[in-house]
């Protein structure tokens, strides 16, 4: 089927597929001509097709306004990555595993420091080696926390707060974490014993794949007012860490797929793709899955809190930088499902918002934001690649109106992991990055090849599209100095 025939241009940075077939709402894509063309050229099959997946999401019961995709969109499991969809329980809205993903509450924390680029000159290798030594990373890696089932239940209930109580980080970190690092609807009793067993030694570990800890320098400021609010200056050293709920989150997704498949049949929900199995939000099955996801999200919050503590330890050990000189700028997730109040056609509605590889990007004035940032809007943390820039953006009022306060989360893959492994030998990538002044440490060669800069879209272009569309605005660009991979 030629999907291009259905795509119409709304404006230079927004395209729409009007409802057809069983679509209940339009499918909208924040792209320009170039990125739409690239997206269509890179679809490997009818099944593995981001446009088709977005159309499928638009068929789900209770979906509000549109199924939307950000400029970093690419195919995922059921939902496209870079997608957002909001559902109203009053209209039979549903909750879906595919709308959250298997790495529940995967997200990014940014730490700002009192250091400048000059402070690291000549010390990059020592810092890289120390981070490699201090921060557990890699497939199946284990951390210094060895928790009992009772303690895991506390992690799932309390999130980052539990880690702080154990001495990992500080109380002031919590103010700058989305939801203060704890979702109150979490219920450890609906998380399987298998999931808990897999997590007992993984809290405070980075994992593998696209997860990383990266030391960066602020090399450009675009918005002086927002940068001042965020505590950012030109030449400043910041640290981004990107990881999620590790094995526990994956196991929750695995456990609940067959559970929601039965619910789909029980409630007579017709889905265009079996990967979109779901349950009505207010059904017993929908509520149970929601409580399990909240528990998985709290696990991710705790994981990033412990990792932030380990980053501070590495900086102290390598450079004698005190822990008070490294502060949490913000932490925000990009694989979530949460209740939020949004205005739709002039009416305030309580909606269940699924963000799959897309980031909450609230505009100014939202009460959920820290008081320090409320007047300018929420920091939006966008990861690039080991060899390209990352960005700190800010949410806008237009984004609140159009996308439920949602924006991109990264560059977005352009090539599959299998393609990247064939095309980008790890040793060559490490050497090329070294020539650019970027030091890489990795626990496995596969993650270097799979996450090579060439495997991703052009992050500069992706950010430009979203900013020109008015959904977010640039605050600062960050360039990598040291990168730790799993």
Annotated binding site for Mn(2+): 103, 211, 242, 334
- Report the SS3 class of residue 372: coil
CB 125 within 8 A of CB 439: yes
Tokens 């008015």 — which residue? 470
CB 473 within 8 A of CB 396: yes
Choosing from 6, 74, 250, 409, the catalytic residue is 409
Closest to 318 in 3D by CA, of 100, 149, 168, 135: 135
Measured CA to CA in angstroms, residue 156 lies from 24, 139, 148, 196, 294 at distances of: 36, 22, 12, 9, 8
Binding residues for GMP: 210-214, 334-335, 383-386, 390, 409-412, 485
Is 114 catalytic? The answer is no
For the chain, how many helices (H) and strands (E)? 16, 19
Tokens 């002044």 — which residue? 437
Dmax over CA atoms of the chain, in Å, equals 64
Report H helices in 415-469: 417-423, 426-435, 445-450, 459-468
Query: Rounded to 5 degrees, what angle do the CA atoms 77, 262, 67 make?
Result: 40
Angle, helices 124-134/284-319, rounded to nearest 10 degrees: 140
User: What is the chain's alpha carbon radius of gyration, rounded to the nearest angstrom?
Assistant: 21
DSSP symbol at 145: -
Q: Catalytic residue positions?
A: 409
């Amino acid at each position: 089927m030629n999907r291009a025939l259905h795509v119409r241009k709304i404006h230079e940075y927004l395209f729409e597929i009007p409802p057809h077939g069983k679509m209940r709402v339009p499918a909208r894509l924040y792209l320009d001509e170039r990125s739409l063309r690239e997206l269509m050229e890179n679809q490997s099959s009818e099944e593995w097709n981001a446009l088709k997946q977005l159309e499928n999401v638009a068929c789900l019961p209770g979906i509000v306004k549109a199924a939307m995709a950000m400029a970093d969109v690419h195919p995922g499991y059921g939902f496209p990555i870079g997608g957002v969809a909001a559902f109203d329980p009053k209209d039979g809205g549903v909750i879906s595993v595919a709308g959250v993903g298997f790495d529940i509450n995967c997200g990014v924390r940014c730490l700002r420091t009192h250091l400048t680029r000059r402070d690291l000159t000549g010390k990059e290798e020592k810092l890289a080696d120390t981070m490699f030594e201090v921060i557990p990373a890699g497939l199946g890696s284990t951390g210094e926390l060895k928790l009992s089932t009772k303690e895991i239940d506390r992690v799932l209930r309390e999130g980052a707060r539990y880690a702080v109580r154990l001495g990992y980080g500080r109380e002031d970190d919590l103010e700058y974490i989305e939801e203060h690092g704890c979702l109150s609807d979490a219920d450890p009793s609906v998380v399987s014993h298998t999931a808990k067993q897999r997590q007992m030694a993984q809290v405070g570990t980075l994992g593998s794949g696209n997860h990383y800890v990266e030391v960066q320098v602020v090399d450009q400021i675009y918005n002086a007012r927002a940068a001042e609010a965020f505590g950012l200056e030109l030449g400043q050293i910041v640290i981004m860490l990107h990881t999620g709920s590790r094995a526990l989150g994956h196991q929750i997704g695995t456990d609940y797929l067959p559970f929601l498949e039965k619910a789909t049949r029980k409630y007579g929900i017709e889905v265009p793709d079996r990967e979109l199995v779901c349950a009505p939000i207010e059904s017993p099955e929908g509520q149970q899955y929601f409580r399990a996801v909240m528990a998985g999200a709290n696990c991710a919050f705790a994981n990033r809190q412990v990792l932030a503590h380990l980053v501070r330890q590495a900086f102290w050990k390598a450079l004698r930088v005190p822990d008070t000189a490294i502060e949490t700028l913000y932490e925000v997730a990009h694989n979530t499902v949460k209740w939020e109040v949004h205005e739709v056609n002039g009416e305030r509605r309580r909606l269940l918002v699924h963000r799959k590889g897309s980031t909450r990007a609230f505009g100014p004035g939202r009460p959920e934001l820290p008081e320090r940032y409320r007047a300018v809007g929420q920091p939006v943390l966008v990861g690039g690649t080991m060899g390209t820039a990352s960005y700190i953006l800010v949410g806008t009022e237009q984004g609140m109106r159009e996308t439920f306060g949602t924006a991109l989360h990264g560059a977005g893959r352009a090539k599959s992991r299998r393609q990247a492994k064939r095309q980008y030998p790890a040793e060559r990538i490490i050497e090329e990055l070294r020539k650019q002044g970027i030091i890489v440490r990795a626990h496995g060669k596969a993650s270097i090849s799979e996450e090579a800069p060439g495997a991703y879209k052009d992050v500069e272009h992706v950010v430009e599209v979203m900013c020109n569309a008015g959904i977010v605005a640039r605050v600062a660009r960050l360039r990598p100095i040291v990168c730790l991979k799993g």
